[in-house]
Structures are given as C-alpha cells and as structure tokens.
Amino acid sequence: MYVAVKGGERAIDNAHAWLAEERRGDAAVPELAVAQIREQMTLAVNRVMAEGSLYDPDLAALAIKQARGDLIEAIFLIRAYRTTLPRLGASEPVETGAMRCDRRISATFKDVPGGQVLGPTFDYTHRLLDFALAAEGEVPEAATAAPDPAPKPRITGLLDRDGLIETEPASDETPPDLTREPLGFPAGRALRLQALTRSDEGFALGMAYSTQRGYGRNHPFVGELRLGRVGVEVEIPELGFAVEIAEIELTECETVNQFAGSKTEPPQFTRGYGLVFGQSERKAISMALVDRALRWEDLGEDFTGAPAQDAEFVISHGDNIQASGFLEHIKLPHYVDFQSELELVRRIRAEAAASAAEREAAE
Amino acid sequence: MTQAEIRGEAPGADYTFAYLDEQTKRMIRRALLKALAVPGYQVPFASREMPMPYGWGTGGVQVSAAVLTPEDTLKVIDQGADDTTNAVSIRKFFQKTAGIAVTEHTGEATVIQTRHRIPEAPLTEGQILVYQVPIPEPLRFLEPRETETRRMHALEEYGLMHVKLYEDIARHGEIATAYAYPVKIEGRYVMDPSPIPKFDNPKLRMAAIQLFGAGREQRIYALPPYTEVVSLDFEDHPFVPGKAEGACALCGSETSYLDEVIVDDRGGRMFVCSDTDYCAGRRAAGYRGEMAAEEGGA
C-alpha cells in the first residue's frame, strides 16, 4: 500500500527533459535564434541586463531563450553566471554628460541647449495592434540625419549654476558594492542607488507610484531623461592612463523635486537620480522618484511612515531574485515542520476539548 | 565558448572546486571562524548568487562549498531524507562541481548538509553538520527591522521573546512553537536553530561542528562542538521536545521523529521515520514495523 517517496533523481531528470521540450514548443515552428532575441526583443534584453547587473546583450538574449521568456528566470540565470566571473577591475565613472544621445527630453524647459530629441519612443504611438506585423512584412526604412554634434549638457547642471538646485558634493570615495559586501543599514545613497538600479522594475515602479499618490510625496519633474551610449574607460596600471574598453547604452533620469529651505537657507530644488542599463525609461524614472523619497533624512524632511521612505523596507524587498526565491521555496517539502505543527494543534485542541468537558460536568 | 576554453583549460574545469572561486571561499571561511569564535552570533557575509534559487539552500551550499575538501564524503538530507528532490539536486551539484564522494550513511559522511532535521544517529567529532537557514533572526517576527534586532542582540535584550512565549502559554496553555524553536547559546545569544522540529533541539549540543548558512539574508552562525544550547522555557512550563505518538510502520522505531503519511481518503494514516538512513539501517539490522512486509511486496 505505502510506497516510500523514492525516485527523486529520476523525477528531476525527466522533469528537465520535459522542460526542454516545452521550451522548444512546436518543432514545426522555426526555432528562435539568440540573435533574433537580441535584436528584436531589445527591451527584454535590456531589463535582463539591468536587473542581472551584467552588461552583455548576447548572454541576456540566451538567458531569455533558455528561460522561455520568463524575465525573472532569465535575470536569475545572468546573476548566477555573474557570480562566477572574476573581477578584473573597476571602470572610471562614466560621463553621462558626454553621452551620444538617441533620445533626450526635458519636461521642465521648452527648449534646452543641445535641443530636445524625441528618439525611439512608444510615448506618442497609438496603442493599436499592428496586424501588419503578424504578416511579417519588412518595415520601411526610417528617415536618417547626420548626428547632431551639439553638446548636450545636463540640465540639472544648468540649474546648479544658478544655485537653484542643491549641489551634489563630488566624491572620489570608492562606492560600496552590495554584490561583494553584506548589505548593512543605514545604507548610504550610493548603496541605495546600486540596490535600486538592479531592483525589480515592477517593485520600483510600485514604490515610485506610491510616492505620487501621497505616500511620501516629493513633487517630481523630469528635469531630464536621456538615452544613449557612453564610453567605459578603465585605467590600465601599466600604462598609467585610462583607455576606452567598451561602449554601453544607458538611460539616465534626473528629477527636479520640490525645494527645501528655511529662514537661514534660501529654498532650492532637490534631486532624484536614476541610471539603468539599456533603454529602461520606466525603471530610470521610478528609480529617481524612490531615490528622492529615500533622501528624506539628508534633506531634513519628516519621516511620514511611507514605505518608499523606508530604506530598510525598500532595499530588503526590491530584489526579485531574492524575493521570488524565498516566495517560491514554500513549495519545497516542509512536512517535518508541518508534522510538528500538526501534533501541536491536535494536542491544544484535545486539551481545550477536555477542559470544556470538565466545565460542562461542573455546571 | 566556455570559460575554461577561453582560459585554455580542459573542458569540465569551467568552475573552481565546489563552484565558488577561492577568494569567495576564503571570505566565507573567515565568517565561519568568526561565527565559531562567537557561538550563536550572526555574522554578516557577502553571500553570492548561486545557481539555485534563494530559499533552496544557497546559504548551506555556500558554507558546504567553503568547508569541503577533495577528501570529504558528503551527505545531503532534506526533511531527514536523502532522496527528496532538493537533497538529490544539491548532492548532484557537489558531485558535479567538486567531484567528491557522497553517501547516504550518516556515520560515513564527513560533511552533512541538512534542511529541517538533525540525523537520528549521534554525530561524532570530526563531522560537520551544515544547516540551510531561511530566516536566521530569531527575533524577526517580533521585530521586522534588522537595525533593531541587531541592537537587541547587542544589549542582550530578549524580553520581547519571553513575552511572546508567555503570551503563547496564556492563550494556548503551552508554548505554540513547534519548529525553529528558539535556543540560548552559552547563556548569551538567542539563536534560531533553523526550522528543525523542536524534537531535534536537545541534539543541538553535540560532538560535531554545526554551521548555519542563510544565503538570502547574508548571515552565517555556528556552534562549536559541545556548546551549551538551552531551549527557552519557563520553570513552570519546561521545554518538551514532542513528537508523533506511535512507531515507524517500516522499522518499528518508537524514538525517532516520525512523518505522517495519509494512506487513503477515509482518515487512514501511518507513521514512518523522517530519517531515511536511520530507518533503512534499522531494517537492515532486522527490525520490522507493522507494515514492513507490505512494503517488501510493493
């Protein structure tokens, strides 16, 4: 009658084989190439790179393919791979002011030095399903123009010149790295920003949205949102100077938020900052809003009890690999624990029934 | 192209021994030494992202990876059993990445990684028991903030825990914690023994080294051999280990921790040892439970 729960090993092997078959889907339909995912699912690739904390579009595309399109699973694959990579050095800070922008908009000024560049955005598309895409037709070539050589200085820099926005003190201090050091609290801004940039997009979005609805409101304007490519430079000790080793795509968002001020300090606008791998605007803006909300202490504001103001809450719960792992682990066997609870509940119930019977007899 | 090929090494050398690179293992060993020096204290460590999910034992796996040597023999159990899927998966992981010998016999293992149980057979000096820990902080469900709980440990401020245990008694007539039952180490730190049933708590004072790894929470703690471990209780409500009444249906043991198995839809149930190696050993020695014959015929 009773057969011990044996055969875990065979079950696992069979499950993996079945999974591989499900991933492939109908064999009559051509298989997706990694390059197709990289080129045509770019925003998924970007998200996997951003939250996987590894800038490699080919590996991200491979991870998406292997994960059957489950982006959190793909991010997990990238994170696990990243663990095994040796750390050869750290780059110089990237200069986003010198970004070769594909897109650069400001919501605070109608025109700005360097101009507004709309770029490749869904913003003004009408969300109508394009059935022509189902027919797999080629799109007509977009109009081209020569690259605009005009420098595109950061807009908050322009406000900074007039003293209208808080100055961000420059520092050459090596920023902490939560992938190498255990996370501790209180967490400084650099650490918070690192946690936010690799946090789950949905979590960051929800947190940012909650500030807009009054849970730690901070009145943000998008001072500037820019998307483009920057060079990554590494100083080579043998050479004694920095050389460019790569070019990466980044989305940067700087918000201009409501001012602080007092009788002695004239009011100034304050900042929120978001920087994310690839084209990830929703994430960059979310990050900037949450960053600003977390700065309440530095800016002498009140803690109103809003979740987005609570650094320990935000940072401890924003990582989707930690969260999904711990959430889903409850499907692993817990029968030993459950058994002990079962015994306990039975005993307490039996005791309660016995004392109820005693009371009845006494009445 | 694999990493090994890029480095010009033989295929299969993709990862260092036991997966983690040597620097990471060194970092973990430092945390382990500190943990052993301050028993019951939770040492923060820079937990790495492992190729299995958080919650599947990443802390235990990292600790095992840091202590394993090529000469070791590894046993992995989950819920006391060697053949549960996750135990199989972790054992395979170390076979693949470390090429070490594995065993299901408690006595033969030099390192045992466990989830939710302490083996029934007493461990001996020289063995290492590695626990997978989900929430290392015994005060977490009383106080969610890490900044607060660290302060409470530093000040030895454990009143809140006693209040919780007292409230249990007031409400239920007894302490309503059946697993992950809090213990005090050498009269100093209150520690979570991981979600083992409280039946296992008395075994925590043992000859082997016990190492606890919590990957997601980035904490390591430890108990050196023969460390004093006291399960929290009150004089008038002493700690009771507790287990299911009855005997194992396969080996007849009346002293081992039993799992309950529902055998039909009419309330029928049977009990079997959760420790599969212990149960198999007793059966090999000729002990028989009331349903052992049926199992042989199945």
For chain A, what are the domain ranges? 13-82, 96-120+148-318
* Distance in Å, alpha carbon of A4 to nearest chain B alpha carbon: 8
Q: In the β-sheet with A241-260, what is the strand arrangement from edge to edge? A: A100-105, A221-236, A241-260, A268-277
The answer to whether B248 is a known catalytic residue is yes
Separation of alpha carbons B139 and B29, rounded Å: 26
The answer to whether B273 is a known catalytic residue is yes
Q: Is B242 in contact with B199 (CB distance < 8 Å)?
A: yes
Separation of alpha carbons B198 and B182, rounded Å: 9
Q: What is the pLDDT of residue A219?
A: 86
Pairing verdict, β A221-236 and A100-105:
antiparallel
Q: Tell me, yes or no, if B74 comes closer than 8 A to chain A by beta carbon.
A: no
State mean pLDDT over B200-211.
98
Q: What is the pLDDT of residue A352?
A: 86
Q: What is the pLDDT of residue B293?
A: 62
Q: Is A63 in contact with A56 (CB distance < 8 Å)?
A: no
Q: Kindly report whether the peptide bond that precedes residue A140 is cis, defined as omega within 30 degrees of 0.
A: no
Average pLDDT of every residue of chain A: 91
Residue A42 DSSP symbol: H
Q: Is B263 in contact with B269 (CB distance < 8 Å)?
A: yes
C-alpha distances in Å from residue B39, one per residue of A202, A281, A316, B186, B187: 40, 48, 26, 8, 10
State mean pLDDT over A144-158.
86
C-alpha distances in Å from residue A252, one per residue of A92, A198, A221, A222: 17, 14, 14, 11
Q: Which of B53, B197, B216 sits opposite A336 (nearest CB)?
A: B197
Band the pLDDT of B114: cuts 50, 70, 90.
Answer: very high
The answer to whether B279 is a known catalytic residue is yes
C-alpha distances in Å from residue A36, one per residue of A33, A59, A228, A301: 5, 13, 22, 49
Q: What is the pLDDT of residue A273?
A: 97
Where helices occur in A117-237 by DSSP H, the ranges are 131-134, 155-161, 189-197, 201-212
Q: Is B127 in contact with B208 (CB distance < 8 Å)?
A: yes
Q: What is the pLDDT of residue B126?
A: 96
Question: Could B89 and A179 be called an inter-chain contact, meaning their C-beta atoms sit closer than 8 Å?
Answer: no
Question: Could A4 and B272 be called an inter-chain contact, meaning their C-beta atoms sit closer than 8 Å?
Answer: yes
Candidate list B59, B213, B251, B252, residue with the active-site label: B251
pLDDT, one tens digit per residue, over A176-206 is 999 989 998 999 999 999 999 999 999 999 9
Of B51, B50, B108, B53, nearest in space to B75 by CA? B108
Residue B255: CB partners within 8 Å, gap ≥ 6? B120
Q: What is the pLDDT of residue B72?
A: 97
Bridge partner residues of B130 (DSSP): B113, B211
pLDDT over 50 at B1, yes or no: no
Band the pLDDT of A136: cuts 50, 70, 90.
Answer: confident
State mean pLDDT over B25-49.
97
pLDDT over 60 at B295, yes or no: no
Band the pLDDT of A207: cuts 50, 70, 90.
Answer: very high
Mutate to test the interface with A, among B85, B104, B137, B245 (most CBs of A within 10 A): B85
The token pair at A170 is 């420059």
pLDDT over 60 at A280, yes or no: yes
Band the pLDDT of A130: cuts 50, 70, 90.
Answer: confident
**Chain A environment of B179 (Cβ under 8 Å):** 336-337, 340-341
Separation of alpha carbons B287 and B298, rounded Å: 18
State mean pLDDT over B96-119.
96
pLDDT over 70 at B6, yes or no: no
State mean pLDDT over A66-93.
92
Separation of alpha carbons A222 and A256, rounded Å: 6
Bridge partner residues of A268 (DSSP): A260
Q: What is the pLDDT of residue B298?
A: 39
pLDDT over 60 at B279, yes or no: yes
- The CATH class given to the B3-141+165-231 domain equals alpha beta
Listed range (A189-203, A289-303, B26-40) with the worst mean pLDDT: A289-303
pLDDT, one tens digit per residue, over A82-118 is 988 888 888 999 999 999 999 999 999 888 888 999 9
Separation of alpha carbons A270 and B60, rounded Å: 44
Q: What is the pLDDT of residue B296?
A: 46
pLDDT over 60 at A3, yes or no: no
The answer to whether B107 is a known catalytic residue is no
Listed range (B47-61, B153-167, B284-298) with the worst mean pLDDT: B284-298
- AA letter at B188: R
Candidate list B80, B273, B281, B289, residue with the active-site label: B273
- Scan residues 210-269 of B and list those with Cβ closer than 8 Å to A: 216, 218, 242-244, 249-250, 257-261, 263
Prediction pTM value: 0.89
Q: Which of A326, A340, A351 sits opposite B198 (nearest CB)?
A: A340
DSSP conformation letters of B73-134? EEEEEETTBSSSHHHHHHHHHHHHHH--EE-S-GGG-SEEEEES---SSPP-TT-EEEEE-S
